[in-house]
């Protein structure tokens, strides 16, 4: 199926590894020119080489800590000058952040910034551009709603999902789509430390109908569809890729 992505441009945050890297590679394989950002320049450079080796459009890589208050403005301006225009924004950077029930403020401040405020601010920096072009698609990586322990990242992602829903209602008339992509448990550095040894497999066998954690490619496949013109009537949604792990039907 042609996704009609050839010649488009995309800004992907958290593109140095994990799900964001897989999305950046898949977009490039579809003929998209990617602006890939994250903190680790070596990893971004290896992404650059991998995309070129796979015959993809040479990406632009940009190392930037998204926690810096001026990061959204810097990233938006660097991406616009490197790409000329932006068709697709993937707000993917994020980090699991467990917290104690009566613990300190620091993890809350960090995670609410990384997983909610910065993607909101980066999006807001680009909204005038999307509105002027009367097009654009925004995809936000969110998180499960079903945790039984405190994780600030999931709280921030719930805010991100609500904001995205409201934004989709405001921006539809400009031809701008806003969606969320919710992973279950995808095998990345982000979650591996929480499942040492064969804990992950044991967990998957009882909690995930498909019996295993997802792969980053499972996320990338859904992401490229959602940001493609094939998904032109899809906005304001949260798409779930979780092997059936979510318990609620709605």
Please tell me whether residue 146 binds ligand NAP under the rule CB under 6 A: no
d(CA 104, CA 53): 46
Please tell me whether residue 59 binds ligand NAP under the rule CB under 6 A: no
Please tell me whether residue 9 binds ligand NAP under the rule CB under 6 A: no
> Cα torsion at 70, 96, 111, 170 (round to 10°)?
80
Please tell me whether residue 92 binds ligand NAP under the rule CB under 6 A: yes
Q: Which of 4, 6, 65, 172 binds ligand NAP (CB under 6 A)?
A: 65
Q: Which of 60, 111, 116, 112 is nearest to 84 (CA)?
A: 60
Please tell me whether residue 190 binds ligand NAP under the rule CB under 6 A: yes
Nearest distance from C-beta of residue 73 to ligand NAP, angstroms: 15
Q: Which residue in the block uniquely carries the two structure tokens 């949260």?
A: 238
Q: Specify the stretch interacting with ligand NAP by CB under 6 A; choose among 4-12, 82-90, 122-130, 189-197.
A: 189-197
Sign of CA dihedral 190, 194, 197, 200: negative
- List the structure tokens of 195: 């499942």
The pairing of beta strand 33-38 with beta strand 136-141: unpaired
Please tell me whether residue 243 binds ligand NAP under the rule CB under 6 A: no
Task: CB nearer to ligand NAP: give 175 or 187.
Answer: 187
Q: Which residue in the block uniquely carries the two structure tokens 């967990």?
A: 203
Q: Specify the stretch interacting with ligand NAP by CB under 6 A; choose among 13-21, 77-85, 123-131, 220-228.
A: 13-21
Helix or strand (DSSP H, E) at 80: helix 71-83
Residues in contact with ligand NAP by CB under 6 A are 14-20, 38-40, 43, 65-67, 92-95, 114, 141, 143, 153, 183, 185-186, 188-191
């Amino acid at each position: 199926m042609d996704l009609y992505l050839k010649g488009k441009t995309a800004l992907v945050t958290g593109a140095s590894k994990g799900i964001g890297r897989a999305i950046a590679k898949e977009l490039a394989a579809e003929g998209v020119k990617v602006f890939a950002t994250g903190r680790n320049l070596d990893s971004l450079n290896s992404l650059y080489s991998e995309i070129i080796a796979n015959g993809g459009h040479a990406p632009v890589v940009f190392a930037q800590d998204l926690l810096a208050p001026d990061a959204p403005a810097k990233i938006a301006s660097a991406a616009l000058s490197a790409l000329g225009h932006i068709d697709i924004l993937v707000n993917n950077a994020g980090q699991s952040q467990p917290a104690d029930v009566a613990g300190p403020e620091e993890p809350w401040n960090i995670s609410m910034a990384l997983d909610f405020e910065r993607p909101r601010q980066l999006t807001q920096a680009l909204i005038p551009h999307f509105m002027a072009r009367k097009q654009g698609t925004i995809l936000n990586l969110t998180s499960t709603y079903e945790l039984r322990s405190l994780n600030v990242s999931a709280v921030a992602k719930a805010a991100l999902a609500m904001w995205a829903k409201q934004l989709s209602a405001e921006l539809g008339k400009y031809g701008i789509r806003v969606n969320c992509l919710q992973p279950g448990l995808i095998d990345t550095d982000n979650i591996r430390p929480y499942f040492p040894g064969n804990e992950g497999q044991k967990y998957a066998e009882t909690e995930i109908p498909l019996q295993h954690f997802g792969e980053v490619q499972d996320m990338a496949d859904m992401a490229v569809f959602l940001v493609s013109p094939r998904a032109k009537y899809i906005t304001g949604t949260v798409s779930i890729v979780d092997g059936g792990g979510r318990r609620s039907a709605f």
